[in-house]
Structure 1
Amino acid sequence: MAFFYIFFFLALLIFTLLVKNIRTTNEISKFNPPPSPPSLPIIGHLHLIGSIIPKSFQKLSQRYGPLIHLKLGASTSIIVSNAQVAKQVMKTHDLNFCYRPQFGSSHDFLYKGSYFITAPYGPYWRFMKKLCVTKLLSSSQLGRFLHIREQELEILMKSFVVCSNENRSTDLCLDFTIFSNNILCRMAMGTTLFDKDIIRCLVREFMHVGAKLSMGEVFGPLGKLDLFGYGKKLRKIVGEFDHILEIFLKEHEERNIEDCQGDMMDVLLEVYRNPNAEVRLTRNDIKAFFLDIFLAGTDTSSVTMQWAMAEMINNPNILRKLRAEIKSVVGPTKLVRESDVSKMPYLQACVKEVLRLHPSAPFALRQSAEDCKINGYDVKAQTRTLINVYAIMRDPQSWVNPEEYIPERFLDSADEINGGDEHVSKMDGGDDFRFIPFGFGRRGCPGSSLALRVIEVTIAALVQCFEWEVKGGGKVDLEEGSSFSVGLAKPLVCYPVTCFNPFEVCD
């Protein structure tokens, strides 16, 4: 009898396993994943990835299709590389893909659970997004701090006049980074020059160490062991940043109401103190928000301005055409202002073309919440999705001569350049997924309006007031660097030669 029971249970176990195996086999046979290149054990597709990651993904997509699956060590992702598939992810299935992936380095962040950029789609994220749109980065708020941007632009321009008078070169990469960071710091917290420089250095260190720590993803669970000490370094950097932010928070809290400048910190503190706020913010929420905006805003505008100057220096005809437009709009005796930009279609086209060729954020990061179908393939829930913005905006199926800098393609008269597509000249990141430098949908960049205001007027002022000569002569080396923002590989060192000094005219 005992033997019978043993036999019965063994038979039942075998039958259960067989049924489970059949179901698993059927599920696998029904599952249709995106195509994937041949991979190697353990490292997956890492051997196919070069130092310029978006370009490596672009080459793979040209061979395997606009939606591919890659295994990078222990990390897996799908890569989107054309406008049609990007539209499915960022519009058709926007609600499903409105989550951001969490990377291995996130457990080393002091403000874990408070980050707006990577927050899951929910009440906290929706509240912070609404706050950005209606208060922190609204048109009225940007208008209130126009004087800050004008003052910082004048400081930048005067520094170039001094360089010109002394026949001295300047590193535009460093100049633009300091300039962008100064504007951001003053609009956010009303800091002094000393404090701004500390923040700029901390942000640069954070990005450098954070990028290395994120590579721990390829090691899977081993990445959490912090074998190279990057987690410890990151915690130290964030701790220093936290100390500085706490100083400014206390200064803002001690102000009288009439002394408040209405900067971003004042706005957030007002919400923090409001017991009836839709979402009660913590002190860490405020600090995390500032870390987010400094990480997202310090290098992005700077890198775009570097590429704009590099492309125009290498294309003197474009530079002359832009200078003529500026002179016709503002005249020969005053410095260009933000209010002039709307009357300068060629300037706007020049900036759009820079953003197309050299997006400062080459990837838009998403993660699916539920299983779905994209481009006919099955995508499981929690799948990390990288929209290769760099590849999409250089796709030869969408753009004529996609590797060339041709601002005219964004003008109304550019039908021939655009391959007969009139809509190309009119798109501004709206519903045309061939041009998405700031992303799209719920997770689109909330700071795009500020970035464009700064970039457009700055480029206009540099072209209006100076000729630019590359140190060493010749053209700018347009080799791309391997950093996350894909900036120039080498510093952009130039001699400014004054052709119009607005400060002499004003005096």
Structure 2
Amino acid sequence: MVLFLIWLFSFVLVRSILSKAFPSRKRLLPSPLALPIIGHLHLLKPIPHKALQRLSRRHGPIFRLSFGSVPFVVTSSPETAREFLRVHEGSFSNRPSTVAVRYLTYGAEDFSFAPYGPFWKFMKKLCMTELLGTRTLEQFFPVRHEEVETLIRWKSREDKLIDIGEELTRLASNIISRMTMGKRCSGTSAEAGEVRKMVDEVGALTGEFNLQDYIWFCKNIDLQGLGKRLRDVQARLDAMMEEILKEHEETRKKQVSACGPEATTRDIVDILLDFVEDERAKQRLSREGVKAFILEMFTTGTGTSAGVIQWALAELINHPAVLQRLQNEIDSVVGTGRLVEESDIPSLPYLQAIVKETLRLHPSGPLFTRESTEECTVGGYHIPANTRLIINVWAIGKDPNYWEEPLEFRPERFMLGEGKSSEVDVRGQYYQLLPFGSGRRSCPGVSLALQVIQAALASLVQCFDWKAGTGKNCKVDMTEAPGITLTFAHPFVCIPVARDLPFLSVYA
């Protein structure tokens, strides 16, 4: 017994001396108890961003999880988000790929999931200068205005409960389809119905949990049958995209032969086809790349704008004083003789504050992910290569260290002179508010999204008073649905009541 105690004391002493002389450089992140095979997947229910916020309160602003055999690091604080996205941006420049993404993007031929490298840089430049740049957005201003007018015209004939989500999705998809391919793909026709059905299927499949992505021994086994569904959707999507491209190619040939190249009416597909056909370009775009980008425009451009407008309108119905103040601002700036336009937005600071506050409380993407290409140290912790990063944007927007009364809808916090949050922007420079991401892989469509959201919301508020139901003082149920996206748990239906404005008779 004495010898054992002497050995144990010597072992502890030597280990202590060695640890001080050669301290470990790899400090591991805290982590909750994992289960065999599934890891921490059981901890994400029912709503992942809320579950991760609860875990961060227990384990700190940065902690480790494993989803099956895939390692993750999660952060819910602006400080560590800044360290990941700015200080170590080079280590986290990729987005993780899933089985669904690889099927639907022709092996990451799109912009969002392409690995960081020459092709991604080419697509980034193409997006910012040609596809979603200032000149292109200005070119399509009439399209956006016409679609908002269509929405207002439809509403002015109604005075009953409507599914506002359905109408706003139609608005957003009409804008995207007309900008992308020069025609509406969201109407009553069979073609429009098929397009919308496939876009909905893509959203469902990409958001569905797939065992092949996380459980190592299921990697090549399609236990859930998702592979079959993905192949079916991909085949139908490819046929639809091919038809769109062929239609554009035929039109381009006819117009060029008849009147010369300058006569061609250019939409985003035309711009993309220029880079497919240019044999002298240093970096050419493949046909599959065009198809992948078209799908990306529909899936990301439609849901984001429609969802944010819904949440904003719901908050305004539940806060009638805020709604009244916004109507007063629009009436004083625009008057009562015409519909509000995008050019009025810079003169409507309270409208901008309402949109910022909505994005803070209800970001369309509550979580976004990256993947490390090399090991690094963040917050004193060692992060191995091939670790996936989750930024909990939803939780960051409610951090009490940065936001007073973080759960309250208070647009005034973003008004100049109203406090430390007044100058905070949504474009990724302020890490306490990241609805569109930050850094080189932030959303390239932020300008388009803000234009659609602000103009449509302003028009709905200018033209109508809104009621949540037929009873007095009805409130919109703001409960979130389970899942990885931020949607209402119950259909958002409301009643638009036309205001007494002279110009509304034009839209009757």
TM, length-normalised to structure 2: 0.89
The CA distance in 2 between the partners of 1:215 and 1:163, in whole Å, is 46
Instruction: Give the equivalent residue in structure 2 for 1:13.
Output: none
* Secondary structure, aligned partner of 1:238: helix
Match of 2:104 among 109, 112, 133: 109
Task: Point out the more displaced range, 255-264 or 429-438.
Answer: 255-264
Aligned to 1:497: 497
Structure 1 residue aligned with 2:141, among 140, 146, 159? 146
Q: Which residue of 2 aligns with 1:455?
A: 453
Q: Describe the SS at the equivalent of 2:157.
A: helix
Moved more, 250-259 or 118-127: 250-259
Alignment check: 8 A CA contact 1:323 1:463 kept: yes
- Specify the code of the residue in structure 2 equivalent to 1:460: A
The 8 Å contact of residues 67 and 79 in structure 1, kept in 2 or not, is answered as yes
> Counterpart in 2 of 1:206?
202
Q: For residue 235 of structure 1, what is the aligned residue in structure 2?
A: 231
- The one-letter amino acid of 2:169's match is T
Q: CA deviation at 1:223?
A: 4.6
Q: Corresponding residue for 1:408? A: 412
Give the corresponding residue for 2:69.
74
Structure-2 separation of matches of 1:160 and 1:223: 49
Counterparts of 1:235-384 in structure 2, within 5 Å, are 235-255=231-251, 256=255, 257-258=261-262, 260-384=264-388
1:446 paired residue number: 444
The answer to whether the 8 Å contact 1:299/1:485 transfers is no
Higher mean C-alpha displacement, 297-306 vs 250-259? 250-259
CA offsets per residue over residues 3-45 of structure 1, 9 Å max, x none?
Answer: xxxxxxxxxxxxxxxxxxxxxxx99954222211122222222
Would you say the 8 A contact 2:29–2:62 is kept in 1?
Answer: yes
Alignment of 1:114-153 (within 5 A): 114-153=109-148
Q: Distance in 2 between matches of 1:405 and 1:396?
A: 14
Find the aligned partners of 1:133 and 1:28 in 2 and give their Cα distance: 47
1-side partners of 2:219 and 2:168: how far apart? 35
Shift of 1:280: 1.4
Aligned to 2:396: 392
CA shift, 1:472, in A, is 4.9
Q: Could you tell me which residue of structure 1 aligns to residue 164 of structure 2?
A: 172
Instruction: Give CA deviations for 1:198-233 in whole Å, capped at 9, x if unaligned.
Output: 322211111112222545434333153111211111
Q: Give, as a single letter, the amino acid of the residue that structure 2 aligns with 1:233.
A: R
Q: Which residue of 2 aligns with 1:486?
A: 486
Matched, 1:468 2:460: no
CA contact (8 A) 2:428 2:437 kept: no
Structure 1 residues 31-66: Cα deviation after superposition (integer angstroms, max 9, x where no partner) = 222211122222222232222111110110111011
SS in 2 for 1:96: helix
| Residue from 172, 176, 181 that aligns with 1:184 | 176
Q: Aligned equivalents of 1:271 and 1:106: distance in 2? A: 24
- Percent identity of paired positions between Structure 1 and Structure 2: 40
Distance 2:92 2:133 in 1: 25
SS of the equivalent of 2:111 reads coil
- Alpha-carbon distance in structure 1 between the residues aligned to 2:48 and 2:170: 27
2:155 to 134, 157, 160: 160
Q: Please say if residues 369 and 390 of structure 2, whose CA atoms lie closer than 8 Å, have aligned partners that are also in contact.
A: yes
Question: Which residue of the other structure, out of 42, 47, 65, is the alignment partner of 1:52?
Answer: 47
How far apart, in 2, do the equivalents of 1:103 and 1:441 lie?
Answer: 22
For residues 105 and 300 of structure 2, the distance between their equivalents in structure 1, rounded to whole angstroms, comes to 18
Could you give the per-residue CA deviations for residues 93-126 of structure 1, whole angstroms, max 9, x where no partner exists? Answer: 1122111111243443361141221111001000
1:305 alignment partner, SS class: helix
3-state DSSP of counterpart to 1:494 = strand
Show CA shifts across 1:464-495 (max 9, x none). Answer: 11111113531000001124321111111111
Contact in 2 for aligned 1:249/1:265 (Cα 8 Å): yes
- Measure the CA separation in 2 of the matches of 1:302 and 1:200: 14
Contact 1:369 / 1:382 at 8 angstroms: preserved in 2?
A: yes
Q: Secondary structure of the equivalent of 1:224?
A: coil
TM-score (norm: length of structure 1)? 0.89
CA 488–413 in structure 1, closer or farther in 2 if over 3 Å, else same: same
Q: Does structure 2 retain, via aligned residues, the 8 Å contact 1:184–1:294?
A: yes
> Cα offset for 1:431?
2.4
What is the alpha-carbon distance in structure 2 between the residues aligned to residue 369 and residue 337 of structure 1?
Answer: 45
Asked whether the 8 Å contact 1:173–1:492 carries over to 2, the reply is: yes
> Which of 95, 100, 109 is residue 95 of structure 2 equivalent to?
100
- 1:370 match: secondary structure: coil
Cα displacement (A) at 1:385 = 0.5
After superposition, the Cα gap between the structure-2 partners of 1:393 and 1:506, relative to the gap in structure 1 and judged at 3 Å, is closer
What is the distance in 2 between the residues matched to 1:493 and 1:140?
37
SS in 1 for 2:266: coil
Q: Which runs of 5+ in 2 are unaligned?
A: 1-20, 256-260
The one-letter amino acid paired with 1:93 is H
Q: Please, which moves more after superposition, 235-244 or 186-195?
A: 186-195
CA distance in 2 between counterparts of 1:294 and 1:180 reads 9
Amino acid corresponding to residue 232 of structure 1 in structure 2: K
Letter in 2 for 1:475: K
SS at match of 1:162: coil
Cα shift readout 1:258-304 (whole Å, capped 9, x = no counterpart): 55321110000011110121311111011011112212112111110
Per-residue deviation at 1:170?
0.9
Structure 1 position 219 matched with structure 2 position 223: no
**Is the CA contact 1:409–1:425 (under 8 Å) kept in the aligned structure 2?**
no
Structure 1: stretches of 5+ with no match in the other structure = 1-25, 416-420
How far apart in 2 are the matches of 1:368 and 1:328? 50
**Aligned match of 2:258:** none
Q: Which amino acid aligns with 1:243?
A: A
CA contact (8 A) 2:468 2:475 kept: yes
After superposition, what is the alpha-carbon deviation per residue over 1:298-331, rounded to whole angstroms, capped at 9, x for unaligned? Answer: 2111110110011010000000000000000000
